Every structure is written in C-alpha cells, then in structure tokens.
Structure 1
C-alpha cells in the first residue's frame, strides 16, 4: 500500500512538471510570427481544456490540500507584494516630508541665530560705544568752574574713568583705543588737579588761620614756646589744622580707592605732602628754635640735663606731629604702596626726601621720617657745639649713654611708640613698619657718632696726660708701709668685731679697696668702664689697648720710683716691693678688664685685631757686612746677586689686643718677680753655678786650677743659700700675702720661685757629682732636693 502511494506521488510530480506547458516545438526558428501566435493560442486553449479536465478529475485529498495551500500561498504572496509596494511608497513620502521639514527647521534656527547674533552685536556695539562716549561727558563735567571733590558726583566720575581706562587697556585691538586712553588720562589728570587744588587750598586756609590768630592774640613765636603758653600753643598749632584734616583725608581717599597704583596719584600725593610739610616747617621752625634756646639758657650749667629735656621735648613734638599727620594722610610706608605696572616709583615721590635731607638715601624712606629728621636737626645744631667743646670725658660718656640707651633704644622702639601713641597705632595696618621717631633716631645717631669721636679723642688725651704722663707722689709709692698700715687697721677692726659681735653684723674694711689702687690703674679702670657702652667693639678694643699700654708704662715708672726709694732697716728688698707692686696692679687690671675681653672674644673678627708693624734689617746687614768676601765670586753664592734678587728689608706684622697685652706683660712681670724672689735666697749660689758651668765648658778644665770652685767654697755658699731658703722664704711668702691677698693666686706666683730654687740646687748637685770625687762631695755637704722641697712647702 505504501509502495503504491509513493508511485502515485511520482507520477503526479512528473505530470505536474510539464503541466500547462506546450509540447516541444522543433524548428521554431523557421516558423513565422503568425505561426507562433497561433501556436500560443492553441497552447492556451489546450491548457484551459486540460485545466477543465483536471478540474473535473478527482484528485486525492493530499493533492487537493496542496493545491489549496498553493493557492493560499499565492494570495498571500500577492498581499505581501502589495504591502511592500505600499510601504515603499509611504517611506518615500515620509522621507520627502521629513527632509522638507528638517530643512525648514534648519532655516528657522539659522534665522534665529542670525537674529540673536545681530542683536548681541548691536548691544555690544552700544556697550563698547559707552566707554568711548564717556570721554567727552566726563571732560565736560570736569570743566565746570567749581567741583566738590568729596561729593558723590566726583566719586562717580572717578569710577567711570577707572572703568573706561580698564576696559580700553584690556582691548588694545580696537582702532581708537590709544586715542581714547589718552583722553581718559587727561580726564584723570584734571581730576587729580581738582583734588590737588582742594587739598592745597585747605592747607593754605589752615596756615593763614594760624597766622591770623597769632596776629590777633599778639603772640610771637618766643612767647608761644614758653611753658605758660603750652595749652594755647597746642590749640593754635594743632587745633586749626585738625579741623581741616578730615576734609583733606577724604579728598585723597576718594582718589586713592581707585588710583593708588597710578603715577599721577603718587605725584599728586607727593605735592600735597610737600605742601603740608612746608607749611608745618614754617610754623614749627621758629618755635622749635625759641624753645630750645630757652632750654639752653635754663640749663646752661648742665649739658646732661639740657640734652635730656631737649630730647624729651623733641620726642613729644614728633609724636604730636605724627598724630596730626595721620589725620591728614594715610601713613603706610611708601614701599608698601602699590607700584605702577612698570614697578617704578614716581619721581615726584622722592622730591620730599630730597627737600628735607641733604643727600638722597639709597632706600626710599617715608616722607614723615624726613620731615621729623629736619625738625630734629635744630636740636642737633644746638647740642653739637656744646658737646664738641666739652672737655670732660665723664660728661661725654654720660651723654653718649643717655642718648644711645635711654633716648634711642628705650624710648624709640616700635613697642614703646605703640604704647605712647595708643592701641590704634599698633592695630592700624597703615602704620606697619613706620616709626614716627625714626627721624629723631637718625639725627641722634649722628650725634652719638660725634660724641663717640670726641670720646675717642678725649680718651687718647686722657691716656697721654693723666695716665702715661702721671708722676707718682710720695704717698703713691709708700710700699709696703701703706699696705701694712691697712692690714693693721683691718686686724684691729676684726678684733673689735669679735669682741662685740652683737653690735655689728659683718666686718667692714677700713677703706675702699679701690682707693688702694695706684691712681693710673684706678683711672684706667674707671675710664674703660665709662667708655665701654659708648663705643663700638673694634674702636673700644683699640682704645683700650693703647690705654693699657699707657697704664703699664706708668706702673713701670712707679716701680722704678719704688726701687729708688730708701729701703727699710728690716724686711725684704725694695726690688721685691717694686715687682710685687707691678704684678699686683697687673692682676687688678686683668680682673677688672675681664668683662671687656670676654665681650671682645665673643665678637671676634679680623677687624678687632690691632696690628703692629716692625721693620727687620737683619737680611740687609747680613748681605752688606757678613758676605764681604763673596762680592765678586763668579758663582751663585754672590753677595751682589743676593742683594739684587732678595728683599733685604722685611716688614713684619704683629696682631695684638688688650688681652694679649695684659697676658704678655703679666707673664714678663711674673718672671721678673720670681727671678728677684729667688735671688734674695740663692743669689751667691746662682752666681757660683754660672761661673762653674762656664769654666767647665772650656777646654783643659782642671778643678785644681780654680780655687773658687773648690768643695770648701761650695760648702759655704750652699750652706748660706740653704739657710736663706729657710729664713727668707717665709718673708717672701708674707710679702706675697701682703700684696696679693688671695691664697690661690699666691701659690701660683710662688710656684716659679720654688722651681727656680730647686733648679739652682739641682744644677749645683749635678755639677758636683760630675766634677768632685767622693771626698770632695763629702766636704761640700750639699742638701738633698727632697729636703729643699719640704723646706719650701712647709
């Protein structure tokens, strides 16, 4: 059954493959067109007939279903084709409409953008034209006959000028920017002129008002400066100006708020300040001169009191002027002001400084400082002649210390000025870095320099006349009697104090120890203590060195006088007194000048060293006198060649200071003292060993040929020396105690004495051991070194 079904399907498929097609026509090309049409018509008829036959035929259900589906498929295909065609038509129509709509929208957007651009351009043109049109309007406003510079209209004019200049300078690409910038600068210059005229008019009105009131009150400048008229003077000089200060400051502030960095503003401000300081100088000058003249007459007998009162008056005047100046102008420092775009300060700003000072300082200073300096010049001119002609060194030192410490350092610091002028001065940002007393400091510093020069000169003269040229009186060289008397009085006071302890607290010395010093030492110490705060370290160091040299020379003179004075019947020699006198006072100088030496060392530099120069002719003498035989030798060892090629004279440079001067002199004096003290005990033994060692060094030395070197002679000499050590060393120690009075220092000074004594005995023992035989050594009976050490230390 299945096989039959498959066979049926194949037959139907074969039949369907050729169904509806005409039979194959052979030799179609030979047929004519009519024949072809006929054949087609016949074929169509045959197809219709077959379709009819087929329709009448009864097919299987599968075939019927297939045919039905085929028919439905063809219908659907037609519908799909129709839908696609319709869809293509709709798409083409939509694209066409959409394209036309987008074009329309784009055209509208372009039209709106163009309209906006044109509107913005129009508005920008109007805005830009505003900055150009304002030039004529502002110039017209500034060309009126009278203009209130403190009013709102003037402030609005300045705002317009600032805005226009800022805009035009920010757009240099505009064709007429430079021309209109020049016009607005002219407007600004005219505005500055209005402010300048207003300020100068107010200052002139203040000046004339003061002059008129002076005439009305019939007060001359001398009467104003008197103490009884201080209130009237203050009201007259400061009250009138203070009444106009707010107006002047407001006028300047109006411009400064917008044009503080413009050179024209600096020039205008400089001219206003110049006019202000000129007016104040005309009013204050005669009053200051009159007041200082009255003070000079009142304190004609005391330069110190005159200087203190005059400086106090001048400081008070500087403070009053500063308060008034702050009411007129903003007082911040010139360097803190905004500079112009090129970074330069207006040349007119330096005019004030050049007017009130003789030389332009390297660094720009505040105008008020130069004005106050000019005021203080009157004080300088009054004080300087009296100081220069003052011959008293103590007065000069007191003046220098008073001006330098009390007036400048203590009363002119920024903290002190802030406390005097009030908290507003310290909190005001405009006054940062400005010291109203800076002019006073500058002038007084010059005066301090003049005093220091005078001190140096007078100190040099003092060192020559009162120290180096001092000749001791009989009481100055009464040594050791003066010290013995003082010690006796002190011992009596101690004994009395021990007997009556309840009536006194502590034992007091009979006399001030400073009075026991040699006069030149006392003068040197006092002079150095007075001039130390007044001079620079280098100057003081050099002057102290010269003064110490003079003092040391005077001590040497006194030492010679002590040696020449008659010696007492009992006691040590006058040479020991002379050497102890020098060492005692050198120790005093060293102790009293220790703070100055430490100060010098703490600021040690090459500028502090004092340099001495010496000329050495040794090479010159060697070439001329020691090489006569080599003048004409034909070799390199020729005296003439050596004289030509070498420098026969040598300049030697030695550095020194006060510390080295004292140390070297003290070392030399201590050596002489130890030498003299040792000779008091072992002079004969020292002479004997010198002779013995010299003779032994000669050739052919025989002990038998020198009877002075015999063992018996040495026995006598050494015995005397040993006995002197036992007796005189106690006296020498007592002398050291009398002069020095400090156990530690005494031991230091006695140490070289002991060493020298032991060295002499050691040399003698060494000579004897090398020269004498055992029998001679027994005869000499030299003491042991250990015995000497015990004898010298007991």
Structure 2
C-alpha cells in the first residue's frame, strides 16, 4: 500500500512537471496568437470569436492527444493546465463583449458559443474539450447577460419611446403607393412575357402558360411586405426572433411579455394619430393589421408566453393606518388592545400572484379593435342619425305612442331609411376596398365583414319592429318603406366585393 502511494506521488510529480514544461513551451505562443487574432478581428467580433475558438479547440485536442502519449489517465492537473490556456479567450473577448451595443452581433455571438462550439464540438468530444467548454460556458453567460441588458434598452428606446415620422403614419397612402408599384411591375412583367411568347412556337407558348400560372394566382398585396410594417412591430418581431435561441425559456418569456406590451402600446398611440389625421376606420384597420401580424408571427415560437408577476397589495396597510390614526389614545397602551401592535399585525402588505399571458393580451387587443371597427363601420354605412334615432326609440317606454312623437314621424323615418340605403350603396364598396387594402386576405376580410353585414341587417330589423309596435298605420308603414332582412341582404350582396374564398 505504501509502495502504491509512493507511485501515485511520483506519477503526480511527473504530470506536474509535464504540465509545467508544456505551459512554458506553448503558453506564451497561445497568448500571443490570441492577442493577434483580437487585433486582426477589429470590429468583426463574430469572425474573431470563431477564429479564437477554433484555434483553442485545435490546441486542446493536440494537447490532449500528446498528453495521452505519456499518461493513460486525465487528472485535474492537466485539466487546470488546459483551462489556463483557454482562459486567454475569456480575457481577450470579455472586454469586447461588455462594450458591444448591437443586438445582431450579441445574438450571433450567443449562437456561435451555444450552437457551434458547445453543442457541435464540446458535446461530441467532452474529454478533450471539457476545459474549453467551461470557459466557453462562462463567456456565453456574459454574452447573454449583455444581450439581455441591451435588449431591455432597445425595447425602451426603439419601441416604447419610438416617435413615428409622418411617413410611418402615412396610411393608407403608403399602401396605395405600394399597390400601384406592384401593379406596374406585374404589368411590365406580363408584357415582357407576352412579347417572348409571341415569337415562340406553340410548345413554348404552352410552357409559358404553365410558368405564369402560379404568378397569376398570387395577389402580391403590399400589406404582406415586411418593409410596410410599422417599425416598432417589425423591430419587436426581429428582436424576439434573435432572442429565441439565445437565452433560456423563462428569460425569453419575460422579454416577450415586455416587448409585446410596449409594442401594442406604441401601435395604439399610432392608431390614435392616424384616426385624428385620417379617419377612425383607417386608424382601426391599421391597428387590426398590425395586431394580426403580431399574432401570426409569434405563433411559431414553441414557448409558453405566460409569466408569473408578483405584486404587493397595500390595501390592508392603508386601512390599518387609518385605524391607527383614529386610535391615538391607545398607541402606548400596555394591554392587548395596543393600536401600534394592531397596526403591525393587521397592516402588513399581502403578496399577490398574477399570471400574465402576452399571447392572450394580443388576442384581447385584437378583439377590442375588431369590435370597435365593426361598430364604426356600421355607423359609417347606416349614418349616425339613423343609429341615434333607433336607440332613442327603443328606450321609449310607451311604444304604442311612438308614432305621435315628432322626431319619429313617418316622413322622418322614411328619410332616414332612404339616407341609409343611399349610404350603403355609396360607402360599402369603399369600405371593403379599404379592408382589402389593409388585410390582403379574403378569409380575414370575410370574417370581419360578416358581423358588419349582420349589424346592418339588424338595424333595419330593429326599425321594423319599432314600426310594428309603435302604432304606425299601414299607410305610414308604406311611406317609411323599411326593407325586410331579405331585401337588405340582397342590397348588400349587390354592392359587396367581399366573399369567402372557395
């Protein structure tokens, strides 16, 4: 046993001597090479990171193979030696990382360290690269910390505090311009293809038809172009896509909650400005369009957007403080009714848990926007006076005396019906054109148009019920000429552009 221990001590001394010699031989060379790589990399931090990591991986593998030429078992002495060689990666790159500002570069560094180095190299050769993996893991944590900090700064400066330019709010002019350019491009492409086909053979004409078929089927609406998205929406989605594979899921969920909340607030502010400058319909269509984009683009993220928020409830503290003021005489009482003691026992704040789901917040905001748009669109088609008159008449208590009121005489109601019918014929096509311009999806347009159609039919139905119950004579009913639901449906269909896709 004693001989074995002496052998172990001798082996350890040999390993220490080996490590010391190798450190003196290649240590300065490795550090010099790392400094040169940092100098050559300049501002291309990602290229420098790849070069430095690749160099240290080769050094670690070579040292591992050489070590096992002399020793058959890897010890902590050798692992510490390799780690000391790899530490120069941390020493040269960490100062660079803590001064980086751009999310793109930080996110790419995370991908390099996490995917290319740790998953592809270290996990496949754990024994030789364990020391390098430890340093890369430390460096990855620093990069992630810097990325998270810069992300929150980005959310504050570029999303929450973003001030839209007049061009950002130029709706629907931007969409009209892009639609015009798209039509010109499509027309030019069609003409060029026609000229090519005209000089070809019958076979080439058939081939041309096959090639142009998919193009003719696609609408190519400008609403789908990323460049037409409102900048905070585009920045939010780009930010989330970069963070998704760079940080842990709980951290990503918190960032996503913050980003989507700030983005929706900024979209709401832009909606208010567009509504003030253009119309309420344009503002609401702008909001619906971008909320639909948000909902569609966050769907592929395989993560739960729910986070738990902790807050303090001071309602009991407020009540206890008021009671304390009212019980001044018992502040220094030595009995169990001491007011100060009661305040300390009963006035402590409560911790409340609240679950926040950013995906549901987007759906909730979208629902509110759609309901608001449907209401405005209905008033736009029917006329505000028609809606106000019907609402006021429905609240009239004595329905049988309704026909006697001067504000709902048969002549006035007849004029309202004619005005509403004319408004539908005049404004429905423009409303549906606006929906098509913003949404660029037939199914979505139909889903949004259907409740508007039902509301219009419902308005005439409500008026019809009021006429029947309001004591109007047959002659007055004929004079009013309120259309039946079937007639209103036919009227809407005759001027409608929206239909469900086959």
TM-score (structure 1 length as normaliser)? 0.52
Write the distance in 2 (CA, Å) between the matches of 1:692 and 1:384.
74
Q: Which runs of 4+ in 1 moved over 6 A?
A: 508-512, 643-651
Shift of 1:442: 1.9
For the 8 Å contact 1:370–1:439, the answer to whether it is kept is: yes
Write the distance in 2 (CA, Å) between the matches of 1:721 and 1:303.
66
| Structure 1: segments with no counterpart, 5+ residues | 1-184, 196-264, 335-351, 353-366, 418-433, 568-573, 625-642
Does the alignment pair 1:686 with 2:387? Answer: yes
Shift of 1:746: 0.9
Deviations 1:223-247 (A, max 9, x none): xxxxxxxxxxxxxxxxxxxxxxxxx
For the 8 Å contact 1:541–1:657, the answer to whether it is kept is: no
Residue 18 of structure 2 aligns to a residue whose secondary structure is: helix
For 1:307, the equivalent position in structure 2 comes to 49
For the 8 Å contact 1:560–1:578, the answer to whether it is kept is: yes
Shift of 1:268: 5.3
For 2:63, the equivalent position in structure 1 comes to 321
Write the distance in 2 (CA, Å) between the matches of 1:646 and 1:690.
51
C-alpha distance 524-700 of structure 1, shift in aligned 2 (>3 A): closer
Write the distance in 2 (CA, Å) between the matches of 1:703 and 1:411.
84
For 2:461, the equivalent position in structure 1 comes to 762
Q: Residue 382 of structure 1 is aligned with which of 85, 88, 92?
A: 92
Decide which moves more: 382-391 or 483-492: 483-492
Does the alignment pair 1:479 with 2:171? Answer: yes
Residue 355 of structure 2 aligns to a residue whose secondary structure is: strand
For the 8 Å contact 1:525–1:589, the answer to whether it is kept is: yes
Write the distance in 2 (CA, Å) between the matches of 1:724 and 1:522.
37
Aligned length: 450
Q: Residue 583 of structure 1 is aligned with which of 280, 283, 288?
A: 288
Residue 411 of structure 1 aligns to a residue whose secondary structure is: helix
Write the distance in 2 (CA, Å) between the matches of 1:536 and 1:522.
23
Write the distance in 2 (CA, Å) between the matches of 1:759 and 1:467.
41
Q: List aligned pairs for 1:332-731, cutoff 5 A.
A: 352=76, 368-414=78-124, 417=125, 435-501=127-193, 503=196, 513-565=225-277, 567=278, 574-596=279-301, 599-601=302-304, 609-611=307-309, 613=311, 653-682=353-382, 683-696=384-397, 702-703=401-402, 706-731=405-430
Deviations 1:729-752 (A, max 9, x none): 111111111111111111112122
| Structure 2: segments with no counterpart, 5+ residues | 197-207, 323-341, 495-502
Write the distance in 2 (CA, Å) between the matches of 1:762 and 1:296.
77
Shift of 1:548: 1.4
Write the distance in 2 (CA, Å) between the matches of 1:712 and 1:564.
35
For the 8 Å contact 1:387–1:451, the answer to whether it is kept is: yes
For the 8 Å contact 2:399–2:469, the answer to whether it is kept is: no
Shift of 1:270: 4.5
Write the distance in 1 (CA, Å) between the matches of 2:15 and 2:454.
81
Write the distance in 2 (CA, Å) between the matches of 1:772 and 1:320.
101
For the 8 Å contact 1:480–1:577, the answer to whether it is kept is: yes
Residue 534 of structure 1 aligns to a residue whose secondary structure is: coil
C-alpha distance 701-304 of structure 1, shift in aligned 2 (>3 A): same
Deviations 1:291-341 (A, max 9, x none): 211111121222112111111111111011101111121137x8xxxxxxx
Write the distance in 2 (CA, Å) between the matches of 1:302 and 1:500.
44
Q: List aligned pairs for 1:156-167, cutoff 5 A.
A: none
C-alpha distance 719-330 of structure 1, shift in aligned 2 (>3 A): same
Shift of 1:539: 1.3
Shift of 1:706: 3.7
Deviations 1:472-513 (A, max 9, x none): 112111111121122122222223333332559666969892
For 2:481, the equivalent position in structure 1 comes to 781
For 2:22, the equivalent position in structure 1 comes to 280
For the 8 Å contact 1:616–1:650, the answer to whether it is kept is: yes
For the 8 Å contact 2:31–2:88, the answer to whether it is kept is: yes
For 1:218, the equivalent position in structure 2 comes to none
Residue 783 of structure 1 aligns to a residue whose secondary structure is: coil
Who wins on radius of gyration, i.e. which is larger?
1
For the 8 Å contact 2:221–2:440, the answer to whether it is kept is: no
Write the distance in 2 (CA, Å) between the matches of 1:701 and 1:439.
91
Deviations 1:243-284 (A, max 9, x none): xxxxxxxxxxxxxxxxxxxxxx4x654454344334434444
C-alpha distance 650-289 of structure 1, shift in aligned 2 (>3 A): closer
Write the distance in 2 (CA, Å) between the matches of 1:270 and 1:760.
93
For 1:62, the equivalent position in structure 2 comes to none
For the 8 Å contact 1:684–1:721, the answer to whether it is kept is: no
